[in-house]
Structure 1
Amino acid sequence: MSETVRSGAEDPVDDSLVPSLGVVPASVALAAAFVPIRGGVDDPFVWLAAAFTVVTVVAFLARRHGALEPELGGLAAAGSSLLVVLCAGYALNQGISGPVTVPGLEWTVSMLFLAFVAAGGSIGIAAADYAGVSPRGLIRRVLRFSTMMGLGFAGLLSMAFVSIFLFTLVTTFSGGVSELDGQLVQYASTAIGLGSIAAVYLLWRGHDLSYLDLERPSVRSILWTVGGLVMIFGALVAISLLMTAVGVDTAEHGTAQQAEQNPELLVVIIPAMILIVGPFEELLYRNVIQKSLYDTFSRYGAVVVTSVIFAAVHVAAYATAGAGEVLASLMVLFGLSLVLGFVYERTDNLVVPAVVHGCFNAAQMAMIYLA
C-alpha cells in the first residue's frame, strides 16, 4: 500500500485506511435502506436513498483500492451520503420509517432513521478522506466531537437540574408556581445551567476570562451584527419556502406553543431571548464548543460540527411532534446555526452572534403576538 502525505494530513498515512473505515457506516446505511424496500415500501425517496447508499459504498471501495483519487472519491462519497440523508429525512417526514422489531427485546427500530444517522457518519469520514486526514487524525476528531457533544448535553442536563432545584425552592416558599413564575425560573435555569458548564469547562482546561471573546462595539461588529440578522432571517425564509415547496412539515418549539396559549408570557420571553438565551447559548456553543474545535478541525469544519451539536441538543424542545417533524425542525436549526457559527468565526466576538441569536428569537416570539 502506498503511503502519501496529502494537504491537510497531520502525518504520513496509508491512503486506504480512512476510506476503509468509511465502508462501515456506508454499508450500515445500505443495509438499513434496503430493509423497507424488501418489506414492500415503494416510496421513490426510499428507493433513491437506497440507490445513493450503493453509490457511497462503491465510492469508498474505489478509494480503498486506489481507483479514485482522494478529492474525487471523497467528494463522491460525501455527496451521495448527503443525498441519502436528504432522501431518508424526507421519507421519515412523510411518515415512512421502515420499523423493525428487535427479537427478544420488543424494541422497534426505524431502519430509515438508522440509514439517516449512518449516512451522516459517512459524510464526516468522506470529508476527512477528501482533506487527507490520517486515521490518527480522524480518531482525534471523533474523540473531540464526542467530548463537545457531551459538553453540549451537559449544559442541557445542568439546566434541568437547576430548574428542578429552583422550582422546588419557589414552591416551598411560595406554595405554588404560576406560568409567569415558571418562565422566570426557566430562564434563570438557562443562565445558571449553561453558564456553570461553560465555567467548569474553562477552569478544567486552565483558561481564564481572557478566553471569552468579549469586545467593545465597533463599526465592524455593528455591521456584522446587522449582516448576521439579514443572513439568518434570509436563511429562515429560504429554508421555509423550500420545505413548503416539497411538503415538509416541521415541529413547533415548546416555547412558541406556550406563548401562543398564553401571550402574556411574552412579557418575560421576549427580553429573556435577548438578555439570556442568546448570550448564554452562544457562550457555550460558540465561545466554548466551536472555539475548542478550532484546535482539531478547520475553522469552517468547526462551524459545521458545532451546528450538528447545537441541533442535537434541541431535540427535547420539539419533542411534542412526530419524529419526522422533529427531524425537519432540527435540520432548520442546523442551517440557522451555520449562520451564527459563521458570524462568530468571522468576528471572533461573542457579542455579535449573541445579539443576532437573541434578536432573531425575540423577533420570532414577537410575531406570535402580532399574528
Structure 2
Amino acid sequence: MHISLEANASVMTATGQSDDATLGSDIVLAVGLSLSATTLAAAAVPVRRGVDEPALWLAAGFALLATVTFLSRRRGFLERRIGGPVAAGSGVLVVLSAGYAINRGVLGSVVLPGLEWSISLVFTAFLVGAGIVAVGVADYAGFSSHGLKRRTVQFLEMLAVGSIGLIAMFIAQVLLASPAIALLGSLSELQSMVVTYLSFALGLGSVAFGYLRFRGYDLSYIDLEVPTVRTVLWTVGGLIVLFGILVGASFLMAATGVETAGHGTVEEAEQNPELLVVIVPAMILIVGPFEELLYRNVIQKSLYETFSRYGAVVVGSVVFAFVHVLAYATAGPGQVLASLTMIFALSLVLGVIYERTEDLLVPALIHGVFNAVQFSMLYFV
C-alpha cells in the first residue's frame, strides 16, 4: 500500500510538471503569435496605403509566415524542432527587409489618434521582428515562460549596464574637462580629444569595475592571460576576418544601394587630420581594451549565466550595437541602421573570439588595431 501511494504521488508530480511545461510553451507561443501578428499589421498597413516598396511586401510576407508558423505550433501541427527555426528565420528576414525599406527612406509613419504622436510602422516592424527571432529561438530551445522572462530580464539588465557606460563617459568628461579648462583656459581640439578619451577610459572602466563589485566579483573575473603564440595567431586571424567582413559588406551595400552613416569621430578626423595623433594610439590603448572589458568580459560573460555561450555572443552584440546609436545620431534612421548592422556583425566576431579564447587581451587587441588601421587610412586617402 505504501508503494502504491508513492507511485501515485510520482505520477501526479510528473503530470504536474508536464502541465507546467505545456503551459509555459503555450505562453511562449502566445507571445510569438502576438509579436508576429503585430509585425504583420505594421508591415501591411503601409502596403495597403499604396507604399510601393518591394522590401515592405517581403517584410509583410515573412511576418505572415511567422504568424502561420506560431499558430501551427499552438495547434500542434508543427514540432518545435521545425517551427522554432522557421519562425526565427522568418523574423530575421522581416528585420532585414524592414531595415532595407527604412534605408530606402520608407518609414510608413502614422499619427496616433488623440496623442498626435507620429510613429514609423516600418521601424515598428523592424523592432518587433527582432522579438520574433528571440521567441522562435526560445521555442526551438524549449524554453518555459519563466526561462523566457529570465533571459529577457537579464538582457534588459545588460542593456542598462551598457547604456550606463555611455552616461558615465559623459559625466567623466565633465569632471575632467572642468579642471582642464580652469588650468589651461580654453582647450584646443587636440586637448579636447585627449580629455574625451581619458573620459572614455574612466567612464567605461568605472562602470565595469562598479558592476563587478556590485555582483561580488573580484579582479579574477577579468580574463587576462600572458601573451603566447596562440594569442598572436588569434589576433592575426581575427583581424583578417574583420577586414574581410568590412570589405565584403562594403561591396554588398554598394551593390544594393544601402547607405551607411558617418561616425562622428571620423568626421572630426577628416576635418582636422592632426587629431589622428591622439585618435590612433587611443584606439589601441583605450577604446579596444575598455570597450572589450565592459561589453565582452563583463556583459557577455554575465550573459553566460542564463544564455548559451553563443546566445550570449548574439545578445551581447545587440547591446554593443545599441550603445553606438549616438555615434551616428546625425544621420538618417536608415543610415544609422545600416551602420549598426555592420557593428553588430563585427561584434559577433569579437564575441566569438572572446568566447573561444577566454582571454580579454585578444579581442581588445583586435578591436583596437582594427579601429586604428581604419583611422590611419584617413591620413593616406
TM-score tier by shorter-chain length is over 0.9
Partner deviation per Cα, 1:52-79 (whole Å, 9 max, x = no partner): 1111111111111111000110111111
Matched, 1:285 2:295: yes
CA distance in 1, matches of 2:264, 2:257: 22
Q: Residue 324 of structure 2 aligns with which residue?
A: 314
TM-score by length of 2: 0.93
Q: Residue 241 of structure 1 aligns with which residue?
A: 251
What secondary structure is seen at the aligned counterpart in 1 of 2:150? Answer: helix
Q: Residue 264 of structure 1 aligns with which residue?
A: 274
Query: Aligned residue pairs: how many?
Result: 366
Matched, 1:172 2:192: no
Task: Compare 353-362 and 56-65 and name the one that shifted more.
Answer: 56-65
CA distance in 2, matches of 1:5, 1:359: 52
Matched, 1:60 2:75: no
What secondary structure is seen at the aligned counterpart in 2 of 1:16? Answer: helix
TM-score by length of 1: 0.96
CA distance in 2, matches of 1:157, 1:192: 11
Matched, 1:192 2:202: yes
Partner deviation per Cα, 1:183-213 (whole Å, 9 max, x = no partner): 1011011100000000110001110010000
Partner deviation per Cα, 1:242-294 (whole Å, 9 max, x = no partner): 11111100001111111100000000000000000000000000000000001
Q: Residue 170 of structure 2 aligns with which residue?
A: 160
Report how far residue 104 of structure 1 moved: 3.4
Partner deviation per Cα, 1:302-358 (whole Å, 9 max, x = no partner): 000000000000000011111100000000000000000010000000000000000
Matched, 1:46 2:45: no
Q: Residue 108 of structure 1 aligns with which residue?
A: 118
Q: Residue 356 of structure 2 aligns with which residue?
A: 346
Verify the 8 A CA contact 1:274 1:359 in the aligned structure 2: yes
Structure with higher helix content: 2
Q: Percent identity?
A: 57
Task: Compare 214-223 and 276-285 and name the one that shifted more.
Answer: 214-223
What secondary structure is seen at the aligned counterpart in 2 of 1:109? Answer: strand
CA distance in 2, matches of 1:60, 1:105: 32
Superposition map of 1:223-234 within 5 A: 223-234=233-244
CA distance in 1, matches of 2:356, 2:219: 21
Against the structure 1 CA distance between its residues 226 and 297, is the aligned structure 2 distance closer, same or farther, given a 3 Å change threshold?
Answer: same
Instruction: Return the letter of the residue paired with 2:135.
Output: I
Instruction: Return the letter of the residue paired with 1:76.
Output: V
Report how far residue 4 of structure 1 moved: 11
Partner deviation per Cα, 1:195-236 (whole Å, 9 max, x = no partner): 000011000111001000010001112111111111111111
CA distance in 2, matches of 1:119, 1:5: 31
Q: Residue 156 of structure 2 aligns with which residue?
A: 146
Instruction: Return the letter of the residue paired with 1:131.
Output: A
Q: Residue 327 of structure 1 aligns with which residue?
A: 337
Within the candidate set 293, 300, 304, 2:314 is matched to 304
Partner deviation per Cα, 1:13-41 (whole Å, 9 max, x = no partner): 53432111111211111111112112210
Larger radius of gyration: 2
Verify the 8 A CA contact 1:194 1:284 in the aligned structure 2: yes
Instruction: Return the letter of the residue paired with 2:166.
Output: L
Verify the 8 A CA contact 1:229 1:360 in the aligned structure 2: yes
CA distance in 2, matches of 1:107, 1:270: 43
Q: Residue 134 of structure 2 aligns with which residue?
A: 124
Verify the 8 A CA contact 1:45 1:90 in the aligned structure 2: yes
Instruction: Return the letter of the residue paired with 2:176.
Output: L
CA distance in 2, matches of 1:44, 1:4: 49
Report how far residue 112 of structure 1 moved: 0.3
Instruction: Return the letter of the residue paired with 2:61.
Output: A
Against the structure 1 CA distance between its residues 44 and 173, is the aligned structure 2 distance closer, same or farther, given a 3 Å change threshold?
Answer: same
Task: Compare 328-337 and 169-178 and name the one that shifted more.
Answer: 169-178
CA distance in 2, matches of 1:48, 1:347: 39
CA distance in 1, matches of 2:34, 2:165: 31
CA distance in 2, matches of 1:241, 1:115: 27
Matched, 1:73 2:78: no
Matched, 1:23 2:33: yes
Superposition map of 1:2-21 within 5 A: 12-14=21-23, 15-21=25-31
Matched, 1:357 2:367: yes
Q: Residue 219 of structure 2 aligns with which residue?
A: 209
Q: Residue 95 of structure 1 aligns with which residue?
A: 105
Partner deviation per Cα, 1:144-168 (whole Å, 9 max, x = no partner): 0000000000001100111122222
Partner deviation per Cα, 1:113-140 (whole Å, 9 max, x = no partner): 0000000011001001111111111111
CA distance in 2, matches of 1:13, 1:216: 49
Verify the 8 A CA contact 1:187 1:272 in the aligned structure 2: yes
Verify the 8 A CA contact 1:4 1:13 in the aligned structure 2: no
